[in-house]
Structure 1
Amino acid sequence: MVAAFNRFRLFHWLLAAFFLLAYLTGDGGELLHVWLGYGLIVLLALRVLLAPTKPRGFPSLAPARREWRKPTWAGVGKWLTFSTLVSVTLASVLGLGMVDNGEVVAAALPSVSIDVFGTRNWLGGLGDLENVHEFFANLALWMVGLHIAYILLFRSKSVMPMLRGLSPQGPGSAPKGRNHRQAPAWPALQVSSKVQETPDSCSFELTPPAGEAARFAGKPGQFLTLQVPCAEQPMARCYSLSRLPQPGQPLRITVKRVAGGRVSNWLVDNLQVGDSIQAMPPAGAFTLERTDADLLLLGAGSGITPLLAILQAALLHGEGQICLVYANRDEVSVIFAGELATLQQRYPQRLQVVHWLDRRDGQLNVPALVQAVQDWQQAECYICGPQPFSELAGQALADVAVPEQRIHRERYSGVEPAVAPPSPGRPSRVQVALNGQRHTLDVQPGEVLQDALDKAGLETPSACRSGVCAVCKCRVTVGSATMRSNQALSDRQVAQGWVLACQAEPDSAQLQVEY
């Protein structure tokens, strides 16, 4: 939907530009000016009609309520957009009242009656329409000029994506160019701070090396893939950014001990201030898509980590109401209790935090969660927590009729993914489209696609081999495959046929994939 909005916005502004250029040509362009005005009115009406439905990717038309009370520099762009739309709308409507629209339409469409618009000058009661129209037309010109200046000065990076109708490519996108089997470079991040959040969880602030800051500019909700030297061979694991990424500030992750977890326990026990640890840039699709929407955040345990970053971003840049339902075993287990209390005090009119403690409130169940979320059916919903909690939250949202497209889930796992033992059966015949060429190979039962590709000597992109970094993703075009673990691809990507080669086992006798 972001791409749809960018294309709609581009077409809208191009039409407005031609409309104003025709106005500047004077009487010679009057007919063109009127017809462009019709088109502009249609687009403006369509945008207004879309506004109440709040389609994903389409920001609100008017500035946020807080911008009316206390304008900020970050809201200048919204004010300029809003002022331009109002000025162009008024100038267009007034202009349509100054001409005989029946004659204009009849001249182009002979089959249409000249009386189709009724009496000429239907806005004559406003007095001197020409002066009023000229005022708003000139105001629109000034607003367009100021808006262009604002974009060039402060939003220049968004110009090319808008022209292409795309959203800016995130840091988690697959690399372009020639594929390489070797893992990408893992820069070493320095630990600048370590904070004990609860008895079994710690937060680490990680500073990227000089020259890598732009590469590590993450989005709220994304994760870092760490290469942890806790075994003979380093193990790759993902940890969500637990604070809104800000330019010039270290990235923060929070790690909670897991029973039997080699990686998490090693990090909590061994990683200290001054140490370095290798990491891939932030990645992941569990990000804040709309800053203007109401949000319902559902988390349990260390699932609060991406939700806190999303919550901070929404409070800082958004305008909607937010409810966080956070489940834990007891008060001692609540991660970021102090930060959440501070945010509640700072945003009492926008933020509601509901703590569910098993030892105080009993075991969380669907009816109890339905009671907590029943007033938030229109919100964008984000879920992060252990699998049982995620299923429970999904059922509660279904019970209150929240549409699936407004539910965002972060896959969460506190245990090592199980490796399936070899199973008897015939191998799958796999055809791989890579670098403009097609290769055919066999994948044995119980074998993942990446291992078969390696055996065949094909240089395909791969990195963590744990289903967390998405570097090895490819798309199934014929046949089907099942992933042992998936902590990187969104539900939409999976529905489109994307799989992680390091986790995908073919289900069909014939399989075709492309990179």
Structure 2
Amino acid sequence: LSCSVYCPLLTLRSNSNSPCIASGSLHKLFSNFFFISIRRNMSSKKQTDHLERTASNYRQNALYPAQVCGIVTESETVKRLRIAVHPDFSFKAGQWVDFYIPGVEKVGGFSMCSSPGLLQREGVVELAIKYAKHPPAHWVHTVCTVGSRVAMRVGGDFYFDPLPSGPAVDLLLVAGGVGINPLYSILLHTSDLLRLNQSSAGRRFNIGSAHLCYSAKNTEELLFKSSIIEKCGEFPNNFTCNFHVTQQRAGVEPHLQPFVKSGRITAEELQANVDPQRTLCYLCGPPPMIEAVSKTLMDFGLPKDRILFEKWW
């Protein structure tokens, strides 16, 4: 795995000849590819790496056609795709997709980095994909253009989908590298729910605080950092964050300095944001990081069933 409000500061390039197409025309455009892909998947005797790793996870039965309608460079190694999807497509904040590419045998596995709210408002989802030699990621960085056609199927048991008037919850989000993707989706979905609380006298979501601990090699590799800081400013009583950089050589930009710490995420920071009765922790990053952070949180009294994680490989 390459491991939820649209960021207005981010300008996604769109080819004027290939805009985000109306969702009603997607089924017609992709009908042949849609059925060919399903037959290939069902008849394949050998699963790809992503499908093998996630064989025991929940996934939807339907494979939906989609079309790339925007591409932006997030960092030197990461591209973000804006993808128009079928009107029946749906997902929960934190989930991933099986990513099918015409002519590419391997199936990709990428977490959504956008919110369900963006899908409802604009009919699009976003994926931020780091460069790799793995064929799906390599295709994104070397072949994919605005107008490229793909197909996607939602899966995953790692998500945040609270019910109105559900139990009170504080979120602790811990990300390493591109593991930020599903956590950013959860953060944006949380901000959508807080806006609903502000605008509705009826539906109330019992969300208290959300603290993000995000570790990367340097500030250049901190994805979505401006949007994350913006959310902390929009909801100062709810959102806080610390960016941890482990190999920073250049100076840190002034607007980032209040949020950046040198070195790995510390036990002290985790402990300061753990309430065993209220905290729900979502982790996504390299397996060693997940294991170390999970142990530390349990040492602080956070029950195992309140620590949810997604490992990326």
* 2:157 paired residue number: 285
Higher strand share: 2
Other structure's SS at 2:150 match:
strand
* 2:111 paired residue number: 240
* 1:196 paired residue number: 73
Separation in 2 of the partners of 1:224 and 1:353?
27
**8 Å Cα contact 2:280/2:307 also seen in 1:** yes
Other structure's SS at 2:232 match:
helix
**8 Å Cα contact 1:230/1:266 also seen in 2:** no
Does residue 1:377 correspond to 2:274, yes or no?
A: yes
Name stretches of at least 5 consecutive residues in structure 1 with no aligned partner: 1-179, 414-515
1:84-483 equivalences under 5 Å are: 181-182=42-43, 186-208=63-85, 212-214=86-88, 216-229=89-102, 231=104, 234-246=105-117, 247-249=120-122, 250-258=124-132, 260-280=133-153, 282-290=154-162, 292-317=168-193, 318=205, 319-360=207-248, 363-364=263-264, 368-378=265-275, 379-413=279-313
Separation in 2 of the partners of 1:289 and 1:244?
11
**8 Å Cα contact 2:176/2:286 also seen in 1:** yes
**8 Å Cα contact 2:101/2:149 also seen in 1:** no
**8 Å Cα contact 1:230/1:262 also seen in 2:** no
Separation in 1 of the partners of 2:42 and 2:182?
30
Separation in 2 of the partners of 1:313 and 1:186?
24
Separation in 2 of the partners of 1:337 and 1:387?
23
Which amino acid counterpart does residue 240 of structure 2 have in structure 1?
A: Q
Which amino acid counterpart does residue 305 of structure 1 have in structure 2?
A: N
Cα displacement string for residues 176-216 of structure 1 (whole angstroms, at most 9, x for unaligned residues): xxxx94476643311011111111001111112xxx312x1
Return closer, same or farther for 1:290/1:376 CA change in 2, 3 Å cut-off: farther
1:262, distance to aligned residue in structure 2 (A):
2.9
Q: How many residues align?
A: 223
1:289, distance to aligned residue in structure 2 (A):
4.3
Separation in 1 of the partners of 2:211 and 2:308?
15
Larger Rg: 1
**8 Å Cα contact 1:240/1:305 also seen in 2:** yes
Q: Greater relative contact order (Cα 8 A, min sep 6): structure 1 or 2?
A: 2
1:255, distance to aligned residue in structure 2 (A):
0.3
**8 Å Cα contact 1:230/1:263 also seen in 2:** no
**8 Å Cα contact 1:227/1:236 also seen in 2:** yes
Other structure's SS at 1:320 match:
strand
1:332, distance to aligned residue in structure 2 (A):
0.6
Other structure's SS at 2:82 match:
strand
Higher helix share: 1
Return closer, same or farther for 1:185/1:348 CA change in 2, 3 Å cut-off: closer
Separation in 2 of the partners of 1:320 and 1:279?
33
1:363, distance to aligned residue in structure 2 (A):
4.8
Cα displacement string for residues 107-152 of structure 1 (whole angstroms, at most 9, x for unaligned residues): xxxxxxxxxxxxxxxxxxxxxxxxxxxxxxxxxxxxxxxxxxxxxx
Which amino acid counterpart does residue 406 of structure 1 have in structure 2?
A: R
Which amino acid counterpart does residue 110 of structure 2 have in structure 1?
A: Y
**Overall identity of the aligned pairs, in %:** 22
Return closer, same or farther for 1:276/1:352 CA change in 2, 3 Å cut-off: same
Question: Cα RMSD between the aligned structures?
Answer: 2.1
* 1:456 paired residue number: none
1:375, distance to aligned residue in structure 2 (A):
2.2
* 1:132 paired residue number: none
**8 Å Cα contact 1:369/1:396 also seen in 2:** no
Separation in 1 of the partners of 2:300 and 2:208?
20
